Copies of this chain bind each other. A is one copy, B any other.
Amino acid sequence: MGHKMKCHICEISEQKDDPYLIFETDFWRVLLSYNQRYLGRCYIFSKRHFGSISDITEEENADFFRVVKKIENAIKKTFGATMFNWSCLMNDFYKEEIPDPHVHWHMKPRYKNKILFDGKIFEDKEFGHHYSRDDKNVATKEFCAKIVEEIKKNL
């Protein structure tokens, strides 16, 4: 990794017309994950570059929980998710010699029942258990755009 590069989350945040963007607020951006093993899986990125949820401001914090409610509600309406796994991990940043983490959350909808969307069946085989870390279910950009459009109808 030789020389210092720009934070990749800050870079994503500057993209115009990002097809993965579901919605944004003053402080947070909600993007669909490329990994759709759990249908509707999202990232929630802070707009400000800071490294730990200990450093969140009161405004960012109050806004974050509005974001939680909005996205959980939309995914329930759209796909009938049963519940949600939330995490703020940030381990990858600490592979660097001088870590420069950027706060983001992982949101994984979990499903008791199978769902059919756009001709594909999604089954949460480990429902009731810790999420799988299998990262191989990469959805195409076109399929992700369909999911985003569907969720947007229910925001």
Contacts and interface: CB of A to CB of B under 8 A. Distances in A.
B54 A68 contact: yes
B87 A85 contact: yes
A73 B95 contact: no
Number of copies: 2
Contact of A89 (B52, B65, B130): B130
A4 interface: no
Contacts of A54: 68-69, 72-73
A90 B85 CA distance: 7
A54 B131 CA distance: 20
A53 to B, nearest CB: 6
A128 interface: yes
Contacts of A127: 91, 94
A85 B91 contact: yes
A101 interface: yes
Interface residues of A, number: 35
Contact of A85 (B72, B89, B99): B89
Contact of A91 (B52, B53, B88, B110): B110
A84 interface: yes
Contact of A128 (B62, B83, B95): B95
Given A54-B68, A62-B62, 7 more contacts: A58-B65, A83-B90, A85-B89, A89-B131, A91-B128, A91-B131, A130-B133
Interface of A: 52-54, 56, 58, 61-62, 65, 68-69, 72-73, 82-92, 94-95, 99, 101, 110, 112, 127-131, 133
